[in-house]
Amino acid sequence: MHMKLAVLVSGSGSNLQSIIDHVEAGHINAEIAVVFSNKEDAYGLTRASSHGIPTAVIRHTEYSDREQFDAAMVQVLKDHGADTIALAGFMRMLTPVFLNAFPMRVINIHPALLPSFPGTHGQRDAADFGVRLAGCTVHFVDEKMDHGPVIIQAATPVAPGVDGDTLAGQILRLEHRIYPQALAWLADGRISLDGRHVHIAGAEEPVCDTDGVGPFLVNPPLEKAFAS
Ligand code: GRF
């Protein structure tokens, strides 16, 4: 069955753009049924319209509580036939009213290597903390913020003294690769869950060398004497 995807955005929508591009290229067995935003000036809506994708807006400020806003969103997304929800820079927490309407069909991208640096400033928090490796995570959404089972992560080295904005740009380029990949697996029915553990049927396993050392990213790079 063809996956009918709703993408939820609050801002620029560069992840949305990457998803659109991969859907149009035939890499994801899905159609984007609707792009939804809680903000009518979200640039993601313009991106959607320019690709002929239906859009919908409901302002969260018009609802007195999260549950009522979520119920209104569920209605509009179901009206568009959506069966799977991709949060792409959507800046609202979801309640069980929403999550129970699409059980295990809501996924999110977060710009940090969860469970490190959840929240709205993951990249800046990572830069300020002084980590050597940063990255991003695609995960299922549950009731806790940036918490559900992890589907895929990508890591990248953090250059000395880099600021949060520069790091955010570096991470964003990885986001644009891993989010469409996760959606392609979901669309093909290749993802299953065992508690928190996500299994991806047919995904390549990391290959270890003869000493049993797997592929790794180290930053700063090891000097020669320590590298083997
Ligand atoms: C991304 O960094 C995403 O990880 C976070 O919000 C940002 C959205 O960027 N959740 P964009 O709107 O996709 O450009």
Q: What is the CATH number of the domain that holds 4?
A: 3.40.50.170
User: Are β-strands 55-57 and 84-87 bridged in parallel, bridged antiparallel, or unpaired?
Assistant: unpaired
Pocket around ligand 1: residues whose beta carbon is below 6 Å from it? 9, 11-15, 88-89, 109-111, 172, 175
Non-local (6+) Cβ contacts of 1 within 8 A are none
The CB density around residue 182, as the number of other CB atoms within 10 Å, is: 23
Of 37, 109, 123, 171, the one to substitute when testing ligand 1's pocket (max ligand atoms within 8 A of C-beta) is: 109
Cα-based distances in Å from 184 to 25, 95, 102, 133: 12, 26, 18, 26
Predicted local distance difference test score (pLDDT) of residue 228: 85
pLDDT averaged per 10 residues, the chain (length 228): 93 98 98 98 98 97 95 98 98 96 98 97 97 98 96 97 96 98 98 97 93 93 94
Comparing C-alpha atoms, which of 153, 144, 154, 161 is closest to residue 220?
161
What is the C-alpha separation between 199 and 151, in angstroms, rounded? Answer: 8
> Domain residues for 99?
1-103
| Catalytic annotation, pick one of 22, 110, 139, 176 | 110
Q: How far is the CA of 87 from the centre of ligand 1 (A)?
A: 9
Predicted local distance difference test score (pLDDT) of residue 1: 64
Residue 213 lies in a domain: no
Are residues 51 and 118 located together in one domain of the fold? no
User: Given 59, 84, 103, which residue is the final one in a domain?
Assistant: 103
Is 29 marked as binding a ligand? Answer: no
Does 139 participate in catalysis according to the annotation? no
Q: Which residues are 55's β-sheet partners?
A: 35
The ligand 1 atom nearest the CA atom of 172: 2
The CB density around residue 228, as the number of other CB atoms within 10 Å, is: 8
Are residues 95 and 119 located together in one domain of the fold? no
